[in-house]
Amino acid sequence: MDEDILQDFLVEATELVDQLNEQLVDLEQSPSDRDLLNAVFRGFHTVKGGAGFLGITPLIEVCHRAENVFDKIRNGDIEYDAAAADVILRAFDVINDSINKLNEGSRDLPENDPSLLAELDALTKGALMEVPEPAEATASSEPVLQLEEGLDPDGDITDEEFEALLNQRDLMLEDADFAQEAPSSAPNVPELKLDEGLDPDGEISDDEFEALLNQRDMLEMAAMESAPEPAVEPIVEAKPAAPSPKPQPVPTSSEASGGVKAPAKNAAESTVRVDTKRLDEIMNLVGELVLVRNRLLTLRSSQGNNEDLSNAVANLDHVTTDLQSSVMKTRMQPVKKVFGRFPRVVRDLARKLGKEIELELRGEETDLDKNLVEALADPLVHLVRNSVDHGIEMPEDRVKAAKPRKGTVILAAEQEGDHILLSITDDGKGMDPDVLRRKAVEKGLMDELTANQLDDKAAFELIMSAGFSTAEQISDISGRGVGMDVVKSMITKLNGSIDIHSVLGEGTRMSIRVPLTLAILPTLMVSFEEDNYAIPLTSVQEIFDFEPDKTNKIDGQMMVRLREKSIPLYFLAEWLRPDRVKDSYEDDKVVIVSIGNQKVGLVVEQVNGQEEVVIKPLGVMLKKVSGYAGATITGNGSIALILDLPGVIQRFQY
């Protein structure tokens, strides 16, 4: 294989497979949608064409058979019902796995499962159309579809060529029928000739074949404008002299003639594929520029009324901000990249559980950083599976509860300032906080007294505990108590948070808030004398003065009372400056931060304000030191350590 061509193919094939994943599930809901049918057919055909050029036989075999099935569906010979969808989706999984293996570097794909190929063939042969042989057609009424002698009719002609020729024949048949009803001295249509110099095995390229079709159209037009007597032997003597519309080109798999394809070509030329490593390098350089900008802004404030310097720094600030925004946009991808997989996930899971579920996707065009798109995939899968399995009831139970038989799961995304809000909402049975409290006691997570003191919101958050499950039976879908605690851990690592709201009998909503990007981090700068530290701003809830009279100790842990709730207090100076003796904390500040579903108060000496920082890794030697996410250079040129809040809390608790 030519590696460059293979990589181009894999980029296109990966995009097509992502589209097919969603289209196939949509088609099951709207099997008569012609546009959707054609889109699916083209998807399989395009992947097959690229695989054929590279000689990837296993991929060709499956795509070819799937394409045949959809050709039959388009012609009305087969219905795309649930049984047909099961077979096609199995074939799609094989194609998807093959593309993934090729992307991972494998160049030898395994042979296809013969049973799958047999099922696809059986599906195709379920209702074959009986098309008359060309030799049986009469010269007076039906045209003969002729292939040039140089092209072996039993040879390896591509499906696209054959489909185009069949379409040409059908158009000729229609014209012949019309000519019988209203005979006239119509000009004759010249024969479409395929060049004798072409490979006798039928390996004609799409562009060559389309050019021949366009050539035929031009000949037809010329024949219509000339004398009624044909200059060459015609295939069909049919077409009324007038009025006659301009002959339309035979549609190809791209559904475009030469004139229509030009804009697509221009659009393609305006797009350049860039390796993400290069984008990361550019982002790193922009990050360095942001640090220099911050330094200059600090210096400007110390230079008094130097108007020229102020104007230059102001311009640099403006340009740097725009550049930073533009570079970040190049890394942005629509959240649809993640959402596209869920129609299939919900469809398969609902079918397995015997439930009827409709998935609604909202805000698919919301953009977020590419790294976040990839990092959110697994947590969202867990949450969606949880809604389908635990949330939505069986159809009979929903009817008894005066609900529609079909449940609804809504997966939504929207931008809130410098955050993305993702939510998974279902109209299922909701969660019973009393059941959750009882399960927590049964699992040994807490004693009965502690469980009974939990409010409903805290009870809902119990499902994020490791080993917690409400399933009565263990299955391959759920019941082992793994999944939701993994979700909490993943979201926390992304500096995000999860919020759960549920109403018994009405449904549940799980909301995830994550920053737009992980590359440049808004922080709250705090300090202890000369040492600076950065706290991720996404986790900061509020700041207030430390007042000793509002604190008390519970089981040895210092707590602060905030709006009728007790929140644990951690004195950062005790960890960051253990060698220093501090007499009083009266002038300190309390920064309330949210870590996952937990709120704690961090006591700091001074709050210096907000600052955007570029995260720099600490290096291999310090990689395993908990409590630090990295380092950065502040506006005054000093180094500040960025705190990893989950690690900080862990240091205090253990």
Most distant CA pair in the chain, distance: 112
97-106 exposure pattern, b = at least 16 Cβ within 10 A, e = fewer: ebbeebeeee
Tokens representing 230? 């044909």
Q: What angle do CA 591, 596, 599 make, to 5 degrees?
A: 35
* Beta strand spans in 275-416 (E): 332-334, 357-362, 367-369, 407-416
Angle at 278 between CA 272 and CA 279, to 5 degrees: 80
Report the C-alpha gap between 557 and 419 in whole angstroms: 33
Residues 26, 31, 35, 41, Cα dihedral to 10°: 90
Nearest to 519 by CA among 547, 501, 495: 495
Q: Are strands 419-426 and 407-416 parallel, antiparallel or unpaired?
A: antiparallel
Alpha helices in 387-423 (DSSP H): 395-400
Cβ contacts of 306 within 8 Å, gap of 6 or more: 300
| Residues 190 and 220 sit within 8 Å (Cβ to Cβ) | yes
521 and 612 Cβ atoms separated by less than 8 Å: yes
Helix, coil or strand: residue 638 = coil
What is d(CA 456, CA 358) in angstroms, rounded to the nearest whole number?
28
Nearest to 436 by CA among 457, 419, 410, 418: 457
- Report cis status (omega within 30 of 0) of the bond before 247: no
**Active site amino acids:** 45, 67, 386
Token output for 442: 């049964």
Q: How many CB atoms lie within 10 A of CB 344?
A: 19
Residue in the structure block whose two tokens are 């039928």: 202
Label residue 587 left, alpha or beta by phi (over 0 means left) and psi (-120 to 50 means alpha).
Answer: alpha
245, two tokens: 């519309």
Residues 213, 250 contacting (CB under 8 angstroms): yes
- DSSP designation for 616: B
